[in-house]
Structure 1
């Protein structure tokens, strides 16, 4: 079941025309969310990022696109799929309506919400071996479009293929200046003792929701110092730990990069603190 413009339909009933702009030009933005016990985690952050993305993409924001309306549409879809009894992953995609070539004939939008089941309500500690490598065939541009979630993800797709072909679990993306930006599916953090660094937004990394949560948590954690900064690939092998964050997986420690084996003590500690924050919110 999916939600297409407020109507719950079977997936086979949703018909996107051959002129769909999301399909033809990647003219769409999206949010991927975790739902636990009938609550969308970090919903306000997701909503504000979606609104900012639509403004950057010059999409008209319908009057009904209030935070309450979209939250209700997402939860309504979750109930239709699994009766709200299990943790879920929901994706809300907003695309510009048909018409025009590169230049649209108008900026009105439609939306579709899809839902799938997750196995656990909260974030688990990942102990699986996780090796990464740099992806250097293509780069992320350090501009504002790279900081929002659009359906234009060619570098991530090709990096994913590279990872699969070479038996890596993930890849690290670089910008045009050959500086570290992010992983294929999340933001990147490097740990040096009690100092934790993450690429700055001006480097072209996604304005990740969990990235924001950790940076806000860091202000209340005197044992750690968080810094948004420029990161060179040479720093990767110098780090004590490296981990990836996204709202679905949580915190994914990296086990190996090239010849360096990493610890995961700080990642585990932050994961515990993050789950406590979620339970108390």
Structure 2
């Protein structure tokens, strides 16, 4: 079942017209959230990021779009799927039909889709750099819009080259993120992650990991620019997103990484997911 503007419908009954702006112009944003045991993980963080994104893109926020309302709509959608413990949920918001580049209205429609999730952290995980196209730095790149062509092409490249993921670069040839999440590198006592000014998504788990690291006196965290050369020289690398949490990377080109710190952070994050604090 798919939630379309609050109504639970079978997928074949979802009617999107040829004037749908998400389809024609990518005029849409989304949040991917994890639901475990009927709890929306880090929902408040997702909600406020969503509201900020809608305001930035001049979408009219409906009066009923409260924190509690959207949480209940997500849980209602999940409940209609079955009784699995963990679900991946996508909340998609797009401007109503009509207009060319200039929309007829800034009012929105939304869909919520839920599917069972059984992702397990992989013991081996390989990366390389995708160089064909760039993710341009700037504020718009930090928003989760539906324009994911670069991520799609990089994912195809990864699949064709037996990789688990690819690093995306910006126009300055600095590391931005991976196709489906943020990236952290560890060298000695310093942990680096690309700054938002590099064009990376304002990841919810990115922020949680930054909070965890800020309380760890063994490491210094830097939000900064990172070169692909620094990735190859790192001791450890890990990636983050809302579904996988923390995934340690074991290989980059011919480099083999350790995973000790990444696994510890993954454990700390699981505690946060359970306790919510």
- The answer as to whether partners of 1:140 and 1:173 remain within 8 angstroms in 2 is yes
Matches within 5 A, 1:109-258: 109-119=108-118, 124-127=120-123, 129-258=124-253
SS at match of 2:166: strand
Unaligned 5+ segments in structure 2 are: none
Matches within 5 A, 1:14-93: 14-83=14-83, 85-93=84-92
- Alpha-carbon distance in structure 2 between the residues aligned to 1:30 and 1:165: 27
Write out per-residue CA displacement over residues 70-91 of structure 1, whole angstroms, 9 at most, x where no aligned residue: 00100010001124x4211110
- The answer as to whether partners of 2:45 and 2:204 remain within 8 angstroms in 1 is yes
Q: What's the TM-score once normalised by structure 2's chain length? A: 0.97
- The answer as to whether partners of 2:121 and 2:244 remain within 8 angstroms in 1 is no
- Alpha-carbon distance in structure 1 between the residues aligned to 2:160 and 2:274: 39
Q: Tell me the number of residue pairs that the alignment of Structure 1 and Structure 2 aligns.
A: 276
Unaligned 5+ segments in structure 1 are: none
Q: What's the TM-score once normalised by structure 1's chain length? A: 0.96
Structure 1 residue 186 displacement after superposition? 0.4
Structure 1 residue 37 displacement after superposition? 1.3
Structure 1 residue 125 displacement after superposition? 4.2
- Alpha-carbon distance in structure 2 between the residues aligned to 1:86 and 1:150: 28
CA RMSD of aligned residues (A): 1.1
Task: Quickly say closer, same or farther: Cα 1:191–1:12, change in 2 above 3 A.
Answer: same
- Alpha-carbon distance in structure 1 between the residues aligned to 2:78 and 2:43: 15
Structure 1 residue 278 displacement after superposition? 2.0
Write out per-residue CA displacement over residues 112-167 of structure 1, whole angstroms, 9 at most, x where no aligned residue: 000001227xxx5431x221111111001101111010000111011111111111
- Alpha-carbon distance in structure 1 between the residues aligned to 2:118 and 2:128: 28
- Alpha-carbon distance in structure 2 between the residues aligned to 1:52 and 1:195: 31
SS at match of 1:112: strand
- Alpha-carbon distance in structure 2 between the residues aligned to 1:233 and 1:130: 17
Structure 1 residue 277 displacement after superposition? 2.1
- Alpha-carbon distance in structure 2 between the residues aligned to 1:188 and 1:153: 18
- The answer as to whether partners of 1:125 and 1:268 remain within 8 angstroms in 2 is no
- The answer as to whether partners of 1:139 and 1:155 remain within 8 angstroms in 2 is yes
Structure 1 residue 226 displacement after superposition? 1.6
